[in-house]
Amino acid sequence: MEIDGWMLMNWVKRSVVVLLFILNFCVIIPALLFSQAVKENGENTDYNPRAAELVIQGAIFDLNNEFSKALIAYTEAFIYAPDSPSICNSIAKDYVFLGKLETALQMLQRSLKISPTYLETHQLLARIYQGQSKVELAGEEYLEILRLDPENVDAHFNLASVYLSQNKTKKATELYDNLLNLGLATRESHFQLGNLYFQQKEYQQAQRVFEQYITTYPEDEGGYLAIGTVLTAKKDTTATIKWYEKIYQENHHFTGIRDELAQTLIAIKDWDRAITLYEDLSGEDSTDVAVKIRLGDLYFAKGDTAEALSIYTNLTETYPNEWRGFFKLGQVYFSDGKFSESIPYFEKTIELNDRLPDAWFRLGFVYQQKRELEKAEENYRRAQALAPDFPHTNRVLGNLLFQRKNYDEAVQFLLKSLQNDPDNVVTLGVLSAAYDDLGESKKSAEFYEKTIEITPDNPRILNDYTFLGNLLFQEQKFDQAVKFLLIALEKDPENAVIMGVLGASFDELDEKEKSAEYYEKALKIQPDNAILLNNYGYSLSVHGERLEEALEMVSRALEADPENGSFLDTIGWVYYKLGNYDKALEYIKKSVAIRNSSAEVLEHLGDVYEKLGQMDLAVKNWQKAKALDPDRESLTTRLQDN
């Protein structure tokens, strides 16, 4: 408890009220003021009427916040009653009000010399020391108070607070336990005692205390929840479920117990019992939207998407102005990867509640997957404006701006994300790349060093390195991609996916031997991986090497996925390199039918038509490719020559 003027003022005011009450009845003022003014030899100090008069004046001045005048009155009273600890304390209080703590402490020490056992002096000293963060001294005073008054509740609480600030949890626990045994525990201290035992993993003791608590306070749901938490900590799931079921049957209005019971059932994937719980609730009140939502969530978690969709759809029809049903429908389609189908539901959600950042964010993500980056950015910005400190939103928006080559603004959002998530590998890595693009090599190196300092010992960080490597690869920053992919591979040396991206990265860096090394290592681990087979086959075809082997690899890839536009383009290009232009035309035309927005495939089709002597079609396809990728240098040369 910190010392402050308000606390001492209340103390003074209470004293004044008592004094005036007694004065009105003209009795025992001397006893009130001086009963504790005892010499160390135990003899009472003689009562002095002038001192009593001055003390009353001082108390009235205190009541009016005239502390300097009160101090003068008390000081004069002390001349007439130099052995009064209560007058010493009154002087000390006014010095506190006037901001002269050291002088106040001197007066209190003087008070102790007059009467070492005067309780109020120790209380004042303890509060001043605690206010000065001198916890050791405060603790000593509270111990002395408890020696003088073993049932002093405030001293128990304050000493416990001191012990907790010193991480002396066991000592604090003993104090709270003592209060309970003395029958002096408050509701809060009783519950805190259970928490302290729980924090020390003394689960039996914690359970004992909480059981006593619910006996004393049977209407407080928190006590029953606390026992459930203890049982969960003891890893006794069966006992936990039985406990929650019993309490919920007896107290049907305990919604927290109901939710914890459901969560416990969900944790062990006992979907049917959890569903039954909420179906019963829904039967009791069919208008409770939150219960319907929870029921739909449980069916979805169980894997019964159709039933979840039915519940959410029914909600939207019954309550067309309730946004939660629409949002849940969007979430289901989003989670199933049906991004286009999720769009109208997220848009309807926003129409009904445009303050929901998650709806804007998911809509942005959907548009990003559809490669509609302008719409994605617009929605991410709305999400960020609603939740400006949420690191994930800032990071994703920063990544998108980086991909859109808006490096200055990307840096702003990435740095903001870093404030709340300072060790995020993706954020640090993209910042390094963004500063590199801005020509700030020193900052780029600084963030790169921070990135590699974070060892990917857990799966999440390992995935971050892999994601970062892939992102940089897609942005054609192959040097940087390689650095992060190698870190990821060091911690997961059998990861064929990482090896495959390394193979592609080294290929782009024109390091053919390293590229082949990683592709071949990856294929030893996953010999039937269609993407690896296709990518390695394409790499060989580009370099005009081992073309028959390349043809065999991409043929196997197409067996696994015959409608894959990328695979069709690759086999067409292998045939092109083999000089079989008719076969090349057949496959690349199939690829264009699937991937008509790929500049590379359209360029390949133009190249095939060139070999077949159909220059008008060749130029036409090169022009289409150029429109999709204006910076493609190979097309610039071809179109200038034709």
264-290 tens-digit pLDDT: 999 999 999 999 999 998 988 889 999
Looking at domain 551-642, which of 1.50.10.100, 1.10.260.40, 1.25.40.10, 1.10.10.10 is its CATH number?
A: 1.25.40.10
Q: What is the pLDDT of residue 38?
A: 41
Domain covering 1-132: architecture: Alpha Horseshoe (1.25)
Which candidate, 511, 521, 583, places its Cα nearest to that of 547? 583
The pLDDT score that the predictor gives to residue 465 is 83
Assign 308 to helix, strand or coil: helix
How far CA 122 is from CA of 101, 107, 155, 199, 408, in Å, comes to: 15, 12, 10, 31, 62
What lies within 8 Å, CB to CB, of 467 at 6+ separation is 426
Contact 204, 233 (CB under 8 A): no
Instruction: Report in angstroms the alpha-carbon separations of 353 from 260, 291, 349, 468.
Output: 29, 20, 6, 34
H helix runs in 561-614, sequence order: 565-578, 581-594, 599-611
State the first-to-last Cα distance of the chain, in angstroms, to the nearest integer: 87
Query: Full-prediction pTM beyond 0.75?
Result: no
Residue range 381-408: mean pLDDT, rounded: 95
Q: How far apart, in whole angstroms, are the C-alpha atoms of residue 635 and residue 13?
A: 90
Question: What are the start and end residues of each CATH 1.25.40.10 domain in the chain?
Answer: 1-132, 551-642
pLDDT in tens, 502-526: 999 999 999 999 999 999 999 999 9
| Tokens matching residue 4 | 């402050």
State how far the alpha carbon of 431 is from the alpha carbons of 356, 419, 427, 486, 498, in Å: 28, 13, 6, 19, 22
- The mean pLDDT of 249-255, rounded to a whole number, is 92
- Give the tens place of pLDDT for each residue, 317-360: 999 999 999 999 999 999 998 999 999 999 999 999 999 999 99
Q: Which two tokens stand for residue 537?
A: 């086959």
| Mean pLDDT to the nearest integer, 199-223 | 96
